[in-house]
Structure 1
Amino acid sequence: MARALFTAMLTATLLVASVGTSLATDQADQRRAARGLRHETRQSARQTKQDCRAADQKSNAQCRQDKRQTKQQGREKARDIKY
Structure 2
Amino acid sequence: MLNFSEVLKETIAVSVLSLVCAFAAHATEQAEQRQEARDVRQDTRSQARHDKRECKHNDEKSDHECREEKRDAKQDGRQKARDIKY
TM-score band, normalised by shorter chain: over 0.9
- Ranges of 4+ aligned residues in structure 1 off by more than 3 Å: none
Q: Within 1, Cα distance between the matches of 2:70 and 2:78?
A: 13
Which of residues 25, 28, 32 in structure 1 aligns to 2:28? 25
Hey, what does 2:74 align to over in structure 1? 71
5+ long unaligned stretches in structure 2: none
Larger radius of gyration: 2
**RMSD value, Cα:** 0.8
Q: Within 2, Cα distance between the matches of 1:16 and 1:76?
A: 33
Aligned length in residues: 83
Q: Within 1, Cα distance between the matches of 2:60 and 2:30?
A: 43
State the TM-score, normalizing by the size of structure 2. Answer: 0.92
5+ long unaligned stretches in structure 1: none
Task: Report 1:1-83 matches (<5 A).
Answer: 1=3, 2-83=5-86
Identical columns (%): 42
Q: Within 2, Cα distance between the matches of 1:12 and 1:57?
A: 64
Q: Within 2, Cα distance between the matches of 1:57 and 1:77?
A: 27
